[in-house]
Amino acid sequence: MHPIFSPFWAFTNSAMDYLLFALIGLLLFLSITLQSQKRTITGYSPRLAWIRGGIYFTSGFILSILTGVLPALISKPIAISEQVANLYWWFFTFLCVGIIYFAYFYLWPRGTLTHGRELHLPQVLFFGLFWGLGEGQILLSAWAVTEKFISNIWLTALVTFLIVGTFKGLWQSLYWDIHVAPEHNIPEWNLKKVLFGHIPNLIFTLSYLAVFGNALIFLLLQITGLMYMTYRMRFPAWTDDRP
């Protein structure tokens, strides 16, 4: 199997190295800010949610550089000419688009409440974009690490699915939906969202990545889903005084 992503990070005195150092500095700044501000705030806070989100997104970019994901995303085309001329590639690309549409534009909103939160469109789209960029690169980083040790591409996809599925399940339930996302879930819909939304997303998009290797398209699919989720839950603005 030819690896999809670049080798692990090594210092080469390039722009990517200094971007990494800047991101580490930003991560430290956000972490210190969070620790200083959360002492005076109890309960859910939009301001702290944005800081926590920023820590998560920044960590995703750092992990992406360290695992060779970001260099590959930048250096490789979104698709090669042979794929564009292949009807099967188009079919499976639109199939993945359809899965994202069903999961996050049709199913997910039906199990989601806004509790009357005001829509702040620019801030919502900004947060959703970086949520997609950060989390999408974390998912790809799991693949990048796995493929360094496993040569069979379908076994790589399976192990990545297990790693990512476990991570997302624990992360969402134990941290993200408590400290970052505002209250939005209808409990009776949670299992439906997982079984018919999140799991099909991972199965189809990771399979697509295994067959075609289009990491940037994988990332764009995750960005699309998460941006719309952010919009539909009416994620609060930084300055909101209510969850």
Check whether 41 has a pLDDT greater than 90: no
For all residues of the chain together, what is the average pLDDT?
96
Reported as a single tens digit per residue, the pLDDT across 205-223 is 999 999 999 999 999 999 9
Show me where the domains of the chain are located. Answer: 15-232
Reported as a single tens digit per residue, the pLDDT across 129-141 is 999 999 999 999 9
**The whole model's pTM is what?**
0.96
On whether the CB atoms of residues 127 and 53 are closer than 8 A, the answer is yes
For 199, the token pair is 């799991």
For 46, the token pair is 């939009």
Residue 100: band (very low, low, confident or very high) from pLDDT cuts 50, 70, 90? very high
Distance CA 49, CA 53 (A): 6
Q: What is the mean pLDDT of residues 151-161?
A: 98
Residue 242: band (very low, low, confident or very high) from pLDDT cuts 50, 70, 90? low
Q: What is the mean pLDDT of residues 45-74?
A: 98
Rg of the chain over CA atoms, in angstroms?
Answer: 18
Nearest to 104 by CA among 76, 80, 135: 135
Residue 43: band (very low, low, confident or very high) from pLDDT cuts 50, 70, 90? confident
Give the pLDDT score at 84: 98
On whether the CB atoms of residues 100 and 221 are closer than 8 A, the answer is yes
The set of residues, in sequence order, having a beta carbon less than 8 Å from that of 207 and lying 6+ positions away, is 157
Residue 241: band (very low, low, confident or very high) from pLDDT cuts 50, 70, 90? low
Per residue, the 3-state secondary structure of 116-171, as one string, reads CCCCCHHHHHHHHHHHHHHHHHHHHHHHHHHHCCCCCHHHHHHHHHHHHHHHHHHH
Query: What end-to-end distance do the CA atoms of the chain give, in Å?
Result: 47
Give the pLDDT score at 240: 86
On whether the CB atoms of residues 132 and 58 are closer than 8 A, the answer is no
Give the pLDDT score at 46: 96
Give the pLDDT score at 61: 99
CA separation, residue 87 to residues 42, 60, 67, 149 (Å):
55, 33, 32, 32
Torsion sign, CA atoms 120, 123, 129, 132: negative
